[in-house]
Amino acid sequence: MPGPHSARLIAAIGAYALLTGCVSFGSKPPPQLLTLSSPNIDASIEAQGPAIAILDPETPRKLDAVRVPVQVNATSIAYVKDAQWVDTPRHLFGKLLVERFAANGILTLDPAQFPSASGRRLVGTLSEFGIDAKSKMAIVTYEATLTMGESGDIKRKRFTASVPVRHIKASRIGEPIDRAAQQVAEDVVAWVKLN
């Protein structure tokens, strides 16, 4: 016959078993984790032209998260159910820019180690990186500012790309946003090469 200590131990184990059936320890990841594809980089390409420092873009609050925004109308934003980015859009797009410049033979430098008084710097604002529900388009918009090194000249340009989205659901939105982001990044590289 179990003693009083054994009865308490059995009751505690039973309560713990009931609790673990109702409570989740740690959050479940969403079914779809999204990222941007990386361009192929030819290691034999030699660096062309002056190096550039690329800073992660600034973003509005709606993009300062890993959720995927959907612009429902002029005043409402929702997020795609069961989908999230592996990192924030600003970091994903910043990394994509660095990779695109490298794929085009342009040396990129870490802004933390880059002298502020000289050299080219690319900064900008990633204002759109999601889905527009009304037009059913994936839209990426980046407003770039290029500082031209010792001359201090500044050039600005807005880049945007849109790709159709058939269904606004987790399994269908990653590829169109990726295609739009790749187009914007390539356009930014082409613009910087001309300057």
Chain centroid, CA 23 distance in Å: 32
- For the chain, domains (ranges, CATH) are 30-194 (3.40.50.10610)
Query: Exposure pattern of 14-34 as b/e (b: 16+ CB <10 Å)?
Result: eeeeeeeeeeeeeeeebebeb
Residue 22 confidence (pLDDT): 35
Asked if 195 and 148 touch (Cβ cutoff 8 Å), the reply is yes
Residue 118 confidence (pLDDT): 58
Residues whose CB is less than 8 angstroms from the CB of residue 121 and which lie 6 or more positions away in sequence, other chains included: 52, 53, 54, 55, 111, 114, 146, 147
pLDDT one digit per residue (tens) for the chain, 195 residues: 555 555 554 544 444 443 333 333 445 656 679 999 988 766 566 666 788 999 999 999 999 999 999 999 989 999 999 999 999 999 999 999 999 998 988 888 877 765 554 578 999 999 999 999 999 999 999 999 999 877 778 999 999 999 999 999 999 999 999 999 999 999 999 999 998
Residue 152 confidence (pLDDT): 74
Residue 109 confidence (pLDDT): 84
The β-bridge partners of 128 are: 141
Residue 47 confidence (pLDDT): 66
Query: What residue type is 69 in one-letter code?
Result: P
DSSP 107: -
Look up tokens 């201090």; give the residue: 152
Residue 40 confidence (pLDDT): 75
CA-angle at 126, arms to 130 and 175, nearest 5°? 35
CA-angle at 139, arms to 134 and 145, nearest 5°? 140
The β-bridge partners of 138 are: 131, 163
